[in-house]
Amino acid sequence: MKKYIILFGLSLLTSSLCKAQVSINTSSPLGIFYIDGAADNTTTSANRFKNDVMVDVNGSLVLGKATQPSVGQAKVDITSDAAYGTLKMADGGEGDGMVLFGDANGYARWGMLKGSGGYRLSLTAPTAAMATGTFYTVGFNNSLNYIPITEKGSYIVMIRMAATYTGTLGRTGGYFYLHKNTVNTATMGIDSIEMYMECLTGKKFSTYTVLRALDLAVGDKIYLVMRPQTEGTWTLDLSLTTVFFYRV
């Protein structure tokens, strides 16, 4: 008889646990799982529900509602008062104006629509004077020294460079190169151009050029390389040197 009583008691306990609601920082959960992030739901603060997280009876995840949530409007229902405040995803392809692409299996990544414009990259390197005949791979404000390709296609890289020239009076020149996946200074890369400018020593000059990268695959990396060609050095003005990157 005792065995039956124990089994009946365990059955009741299991049934009760299966129907229980789990809450953190609140004694009045509305969903199966409820977190009151700031433990302020009993206050009169206008923002008291915006720090709440809930999983409702349908298995939807609800975050940041201005009023106490009861059920989600989608499987993931996020509300935020801040611009760009609902989602952050960093996969190396993020950038100003990028959009989310989905594949046949529903996986998403950042990418660029063909012909929709591109994005701008500021340079972070090189910071010292560039010597004649030396190759310099530039660094970008995406914390990389390359541009990641997230969408198959062809691209153009435009650079507007501002620098100060130190050397003999007269005409100076230099090369810009694009290399794919690795920098091999024994080659011209996938595209290159030599620019000539009339420069005065100690004076700032600017130049602008366009390079192309054709038939790239997802996962490719594009490196931009500079090399002063004539006698003298360039010192970049990083605040005025910009790269624009477009899919065409």
pTM of the model: 0.61
Identify the H or E element spanning 216. Answer: strand 203-216
What's the distance, Cα to Cα, between the start and end of the chain in Å?
80
Quick one: pLDDT at residue 10? 45
- The CA distance from 98 to 167, in Å, is 42
Cross-strand pairs, 172: 197
- Top CATH class, 119-247: mainly beta
Q: How many CA atoms lie within 13 A of 61 on its CB side?
A: 2
| Angle value at C-alpha 98, between 95 and 99, nearest 5 degrees | 145
Quick one: pLDDT at residue 50? 85
Q: Name the residue with tokens 């594949």.
A: 103
Domain residue extents for the chain: 2-78, 119-247
- Cβ pair 99, 110 in contact under 8 A: yes
Residue by residue, pLDDT tens for the chain (248 residues) are 554 444 444 444 444 445 567 878 887 777 788 888 888 888 888 888 888 898 888 888 888 888 887 788 888 888 888 877 888 888 877 877 778 888 888 888 887 776 666 788 999 999 999 999 999 999 998 888 999 998 888 999 999 999 999 987 677 889 999 999 999 999 999 999 998 888 888 888 899 999 999 999 989 999 999 999 888 899 999 999 999 998 88
Q: Which residues contact 64 (CB under 8 A, 6 or more apart)?
A: 50, 51, 52, 78, 79, 80, 86
